[in-house]
Amino acid sequence: MDLAPAPFHLPKFLRQIIDIIRARAEAKDITLTYEPLSPLPATVVADEKRLRQVLLNLLGNAVKFTDRGHVTLRVTAKDEIRRMKDENESLPFILHPSSLILRFEVEDTGIGIPPDQLERIFQPFEQVSEAELRAEGAGLGLAISQQIMHLMNSQLQVKSEPDRGSTFWFEVTLPVTGIIEQEQPVSVREIIGYEGARQKVLVADDKEYNRRLLVDMLQPLGFEVHTTEDGQQAVEEAQAWRPNVILMDLVMPVKTGIEATRELRQQPAFAGALIIAVSASVLDADEEKSRVAGCATFLRKPVKMEKLLDLLETHLKLSWLRAEPKDQGETVAAPLISPSQEELTVLYKLAQSGRILEIQARADHLARLDEAYLPFCDQLQELTRGFELDQIMAFVRQFIEEQNGKT
């Protein structure tokens, strides 16, 4: 394995990790929490993919082996330890270069690990005798995670008590930059549709949240979207409906996305169809399997609208229709008057569930209800057009906290 360091937004990265694991925790009625124990840098330089792989492995194992209680991810930024020397500076985009030690800790209240296994859990699973761990494949994931840590000049550590839980942690030294987001494609908020015939998109995913989010992204732009819940349904719907593109989740019941893709590719009608693999996996092997099965490209969850639209533009050769630029003349900021606490709570819960279209409808309703809410609703609508769920929650939460402070 090689590392490919690049700048990325750390808080957003951590929220996405929690979002990926949340459904597994909720399915077992386990409390999943994320606790930043200190202010965190906005942007760090690291191999985002490899760091995600390690954290997903640790959190995934914690959820697997916890039947009650909680799983917690804690992150701490320690004091600055050194200044990068100019002669060693290989990243010209770094402003005010410096490095921090970041500590990542995953705690659970699960089954724990027997003392005689603690020294062996980072070895490949075939060397681990604990049947339960071997059946879940946890040992192999930990072995890979430990290898990644060694590449990052760090080491996974663990403390555990049988029947009481485990805590895994590691510390890494990462450069911190002044760049919050290095790559900023043309804002998706400007895109309002596309030229030419209407395109049909089939979304195959067993999770309602994922299906709804993709529908909400694509329908307002003029795409006709159908959804299915498993691989067999995807094959049948594709044969009956003949979509222009299929967004295929890889892990589904009845038939996996890999099996469904192979079956469709064996049919002449789908030999050249655009099938995009959609998966939360960070393993190169899973991406390669999807390509071998016949997927044209690979889209990682949580799906970023910019990346999705970029793939559709490239493979379907679309020309986007964009909104007229706003008049940059006189700009007088109107005061943001928020609606009631009840309305704010509804908006916050909708954002937590990813219900973008319902947020837009609610904002329209509030704007009609009272013109005083127009600036608030306009800013909310602007965030929904970019599918900025985290920003929507932060935007609404500040008004909830403000109203709570007045009571």
Please state, in angstroms and rounded to a whole number, the distance separating the CA atoms of residues 269 and 266. Answer: 9
- Domain range summary for the chain, segments of one domain joined by +: 6-177, 188-322, 341-406
Provide Rg for the chain, Cα atoms. Answer: 23
29-88 residue pLDDT tens: 888 888 888 778 888 889 998 999 899 989 988 998 999 888 999 998 875 433 333 444
In the prediction, which pLDDT does 81 show? 37
Instruction: Judge whether 139 and 133 are in contact, CB under 8 Å.
Output: yes
Instruction: Judge whether 255 and 235 are in contact, CB under 8 Å.
Output: yes
Q: Taking residues 132-157, what's their average pLDDT?
A: 72
Residue 46: HSE in the Cβ half-sphere, 13 Å Cα cutoff: 29
Torsions phi, psi for 76 (to 5 deg)? -130, 135
Percent of the chain with pLDDT over 70: 84
Q: Is the pLDDT of residue 327 over 60?
A: no
The confidence band for 179, taking pLDDT boundaries of 50, 70 and 90, is: very low
From 32-36, 147-151, 154-158, 388-392, the region with the lowest mean pLDDT: 388-392
Q: Is the pLDDT of residue 367 over 60?
A: yes
Q: Which ranges in 294-339 belong to alpha helices (H)? A: 305-316
Intrachain domains 6-177 and 188-322 with the same fold: no
83-131 residue pLDDT tens: 333 444 443 333 344 788 899 999 999 988 888 777 777 776 533 444 4
133-142 residue pLDDT tens: 433 334 447 8
pTM attached to this predicted model: 0.52
In the prediction, which pLDDT does 135 show? 36
Instruction: Judge whether 100 and 174 are in contact, CB under 8 Å.
Output: yes
Residue 191 structure tokens: 């895109």
Task: Label residues 4-37 b or e (16+ Cβ within 10 Å = b).
Answer: ebebbbbebbbbbbbbbbbebbeeeebebebeee
The confidence band for 7, taking pLDDT boundaries of 50, 70 and 90, is: confident
Please state, in angstroms and rounded to a whole number, the distance separating the CA atoms of residues 20 and 251. Answer: 14
* CATH topology classification for 188-322: Rossmann fold (3.40.50)
Please state, in angstroms and rounded to a whole number, the distance separating the CA atoms of residues 134 and 140. Answer: 8
| Most confidently predicted of 212-216, 284-288, 291-295 | 291-295
Give the three-state DSSP class for 187.
Answer: coil
The confidence band for 298, taking pLDDT boundaries of 50, 70 and 90, is: very high
Give the three-state DSSP class for 342.
Answer: helix
Please state, in angstroms and rounded to a whole number, the distance separating the CA atoms of residues 44 and 6. Answer: 8
Please state, in angstroms and rounded to a whole number, the distance separating the CA atoms of residues 311 and 316. Answer: 8
Kindly report the length of the chain: 407
The DSSP string of 16-51 is: HHHHHHHHHHHHTT-EEEEEE-S---SEEEE-HHHH
Q: Taking residues 183-196, what's their average pLDDT?
A: 66
Residue 208 structure tokens: 């309602």
Average pLDDT, the chain: 81
Q: Which ranges in 104-230 belong to alpha helices (H)? A: 131-136, 138-151, 208-218
205-214 residue pLDDT tens: 998 878 888 9
In the prediction, which pLDDT does 18 show? 85
The confidence band for 3, taking pLDDT boundaries of 50, 70 and 90, is: confident
Task: Match domain 6-177 to its CATH number in 3.40.50.1100, 3.30.70.260, 3.10.20.30, 3.30.565.10.
Answer: 3.30.565.10
Could you tell me which of 239, 226, 235, 225 has the C-alpha nearest to residue 256? 235
Please state, in angstroms and rounded to a whole number, the distance separating the CA atoms of residues 30 and 175. Answer: 34
